[in-house]
Amino acid sequence: MDQFTLNLLFVGASFALYIGIAIWARAGSTSEFYAAGRGVHPVTNGMATAADWMSAASFISMAGLIAFTGYDNSSFLMGWTGGYVLLALLLAPYLRKFGKFTVSEFIGDRFYSPTARLVAVICLIVASTTYVIGQMTGVGVAFGRFLEISNTSGLLIGACVVFAYAVFGGMKGVTYTQVAQYVVLIMAYTIPAVFISLQLTGTPIPALGLFSETTATGGEGSVYLLTKLDQIVTDLGFASYTEAHKDNLNMVLFTLSLMIGTAGLPHVIMRFFTVPKVSDARWSAGWALVFIALLYLTAPAVGAMARLNITELMWPNGTNGEAVSVEQIESDARYDWMATWQKTGLLDWEDKNGDGRIQYYNDKSDAMAEKAAANGWEGNELTNFNRDILVLANPEIASLPGWVIGLVAAGGLAAALSTAAGLLLAISSAVSHDLLKGQLTPDMSEKAELMSARIAMAVAIGVATILGLNPPGFAAQTVALAFGLAAASIFPALMMGIFSKRVNNVGAVSGMLAGLGFTLIYIFLHKGWLFIAGTNSFPDTVDGSLFGIQSTAIGAVGALINFAVAYGVSLATKDTPQEIKDLVESVRVPAGAGVAVDH
């Protein structure tokens, strides 16, 4: 059986599994459809949250970004897990006690203002739409590879599948489908990692393999995997893998933005509204992180080991020997993945100096210029290696069996589709339920509400697809921008709503608008207005940026502005009424928490 059929088989089988479970669970109880999680054990709920949370950014993109930069991109690892600490300590138990279903409802009630609810809805739509753009980038890569077509065609087909998937809707609500998605996703991520870790270090646990001695070829006795990696990448003029090359300010702010954003994204927070008890909300966050950590502890190993494998494939005789020949790439089965990925347009090479070999090195390094001149190299000949293909290509790069490659394709699609569909549902319910029914046309019929939800979904996916064709960055970088926006707008409002009785309606609204406005404008100034390339006023680099802070890291500053403005304005305006102070008091203690009620 060829690889294409095998991929199709795995993807098809996993989809049949999700749909089967959705139908089975639906037949059991329709009321659980809307309140997924109620009456579900915290461990099960944690697993479903993990599936919901880990998207194309975590699965497809993150390890690739770590692989090509090393230590500097540790921010993704700390940021996307550290946010759960904020969520568990500062938000989850109190929002559960409050007992409503949506984030904007809490903000509307706590700040006794329909305007606050409206502003919260706008913040949610902006952050979620940006998030979907990142997902679509990942969907395009996954579909492009597994249907063996160009990235653009893959993206367009993927968009249709995501739309159908989200309209079908049941996928999202049924907790057990998400449990199945988690199982597929984590197996697809860890099984190839275990194989590769065994190949390179003899350790079956990739997280430990990363810090073990390597058994791979290399000559002079045993060396640590990371030591060896550092050595071969610096030999080729690249920055060392384990050292820091980014300034501390940007790294801290970027990590902080991802952490705060995690605790401010609606589709994650929503899961904690519906657990049976306040104490369960506390445990659920912990279990969710356990299941997330299984992937996040593996990811740095995947990145480092893939970088080592790729470099060794390009330099089969060592970094001081001869580079791989074009003939070998075309004939040796270990290089088949290069031709496959070339079809997607995300990988390319060119024998610039016509010596029949492909030299992969950093042609921007001054130290390499001399060596290149001496050897007649005319620039890096591995001309394109998109970071987002690394995880999906990883089993092929390591020459793993065909079924592992099929499994990874299924896992990548599960990650991208579940999160994209979940976000589209969040956007459509925000538009139809919170915006139209809650604000503009309160007497609209159920049918009209459903129709407007579908239209909102179609518009959102249309926008995300168009912008996804020319994304503002790799999948995980685009998603990082969404986190910055959520960090600057939603998280501070929620936190002040619980921890301060003094912050009032005017304060919260001004805070959210200031935080979102500042962050969005700063991002657009560097990434282009509405992410359209070429319309940016400042280059998107640390040195060229407006305040010396990269656009992906600005969310943390936006959050500080939100806090400061909200508090300042509140002090200058009227104190909160007594019933709001009582509401805050009651949210702070678990006793008397009823079942979450629908709006």
> Any contact of residue 286 with another protein (CB under 8 A)?
yes
Query: Per the structure block, which two tokens stand in for 285?
Result: 């966050």
User: Is residue 542 a contact point for another protein (CB under 8 A)?
Assistant: no
Q: What 3-state class would DSSP assign to 214?
A: strand
Which residues 83-142 are close enough to bind another protein by CB under 8 A?
84-85, 88-90, 93
Out of 157, 252, 448, 463, name the contact with another protein by CB under 8 A: 252
Using CA atoms, how far apart are residues 452 and 429, in angstroms rounded to an integer?
9
The answer to the question of residue 232 lying near another protein (CB under 8 A) is no
Number of residues that bind another protein (CB under 8 A): 51
Tokens 């045993």: give the residue: 222
Interstrand relation of 324-325 and 223-224 (parallel, antiparallel or unpaired): unpaired
Closest by CA position to 70, among listed 224, 229, 255: 229
Question: Any contact of residue 239 with another protein (CB under 8 A)?
Answer: no
**Among 130, 159, 129, which Cα is nearest to 144's?**
159
Choices 146-154, 282-290, 357-365, 555-563; region in contact with another protein by CB under 8 A: 282-290
The bridge status of strand 213-214 relative to strand 223-224 is antiparallel
Work out how close the CB of 256 gets to another protein at its nearest, in angstroms, rounded to a whole number: 8
Q: How far is the CB of 542 from another protein (least distance, A)?
A: 15
Candidates 15, 71, 146, 522: give the one binding another protein (CB under 8 A): 71
Cα distance between residue 207 and residue 190, in whole Å: 10
Task: List 384's β-bridge partners, or say none.
Answer: 348
Q: Report the nearest approach of another protein to the CB of residue 168 (Å).
A: 34
Measured CA to CA, the distance from residue 580 to residue 95 in angstroms comes to 15
The string of DSSP codes covering 64-108 is HHHHHHGGGGHHHHHHHHHHHHHIIIIIHHHHHHHT-S-HHHHHH
- Report the site for another protein in 212-231 (rule: CB under 8 A): 212-213, 223-228, 230
Token pair in block for residue 172: 């999202």
Binds another protein (CB under 8 A): choice among 256, 347, 389, 557: 256
- Pair of tokens at residue 556: 């943390």
Distance of closest approach, residue 309 Cβ to another protein, in angstroms: 17
User: Which of these segments, 266-274, 368-376, 394-402, 582-590, binds another protein (CB under 8 A)?
Assistant: 582-590
Find residue 385's DSSP bridge partners: 347
Taking the complex as a whole, how short is the minimal distance between the CB of residue 179 and another protein, in angstroms? Answer: 20
Work out which of 242, 342, 383, 573 binds another protein, going by CB under 8 A.
Answer: 242
How far apart are alpha carbons 67 and 307 in whole angstroms? 6
Q: Which of residues 4-33 bind another protein (CB under 8 A)?
A: none
- Minimum Å gap between C-beta 593 and another protein is 6
Binding site for another protein (CB under 8 A): 71, 74, 77-78, 81-82, 84-85, 88-90, 93, 207, 210-213, 223-228, 230, 242, 244, 248, 251-252, 255-256, 277-279, 282-283, 285-286, 289-290, 293, 296-297, 300, 585, 588-593
